[in-house]
Amino acid sequence: MDALINKRIKQVLKGDKDAFAEIVDLYQHRLFQVCFRMLGNRHEAEDIAQEAFVRAFINIHTYDQKRKFSTWLYRIATNLCIDRIRKKKPDFYLDAEVKGTEGLDMYSQIAAADELPEEEIMKLELQDRIQYEISRLPDKYRSAIVLKYMEELSLQEISEILELPLGTVKTRIHRGREFLRKQLSRQPNFL
């Protein structure tokens, strides 16, 4: 797989644009899934995932072939998603820390979806409910949880994608799990 990818990348570097189509085919579902889970909306997810591939194509000469291609691609996509999330609601004191969250500022809070009334939540189908709960996570925890449980990546890989120390990734996943636990325990019939 990696050998094939590196071969295609060399072709792209030589100017063979069509070789890039194969790269897109191989990674499109994984990249789209991350974007969808991060953004919670298919239309935006498609836009951002496409943009991620375009950026990868333009900057392909900066990719270090000794490293894993998927890590590099995931990094481009998660960065674009986080940028998109932060642009959504600009009018807060974004740097102000939120009480009791240790290092979480408004940047991470505004990402969270608007809360639905309890009876609405009850009506959600399981898959919609999962997406709703994920979208309620602050984006710092969300990226780590999505990469860990939906993309099923190792902690080491997540740390490389997010460019964070391994310890920080673990902390974010732990807090993400606790956050979800508190949310879900409010509707006891689910757990």
Partner 1 sequence: MNACPERIVHLMHEYLDGEISREHELELKSHLQSCVDCQAHMHELSDVVAFVKGAAHVEAPTNFSQNVMARLPKEKSHAGVSRWLRRHPILTAAALFFLFMSSALFSNFHEEQQFSFTKQENVLVEGETVIIPEGQVVKGDLVVRNGDVRIDGELDGNLTVINGSKYMASTAVITGKTEEINEVFDWLWFHIKDGAKEVVSFFDKEETK
Residue ranges binding partner 1 (CB under 8 A):
13-15, 17, 20-21, 24-25, 28-29, 31-33, 36-37, 42, 46, 49-51, 53-54, 57-58, 61, 126-127, 130-131, 133-134, 145, 149-150, 155, 170, 173-174, 177-178, 180-181, 184-185, 190-191
Dist. CA 114–CA 37, nearest whole Å: 16
Q: Which two tokens stand for residue 162?
A: 């997010």
Q: Which is nearer to partner 1, 85 or 144 (CB)?
A: 144
Q: Which two tokens stand for residue 27?
A: 């990674």
Q: Which is nearer to partner 1, 80 or 173 (CB)?
A: 173
Least separation in angstroms between CB 21 and partner 1: 6
Q: Are 106 and 75 in contact (CB under 8 A)?
A: no
Least separation in angstroms between CB 96 and partner 1: 27
Q: Which is nearer to partner 1, 106 or 132 (CB)?
A: 132
* AA letter at 175: R
DSSP 82-109: HHHHHHH---S-TTSBPTTSSS-BHHHH
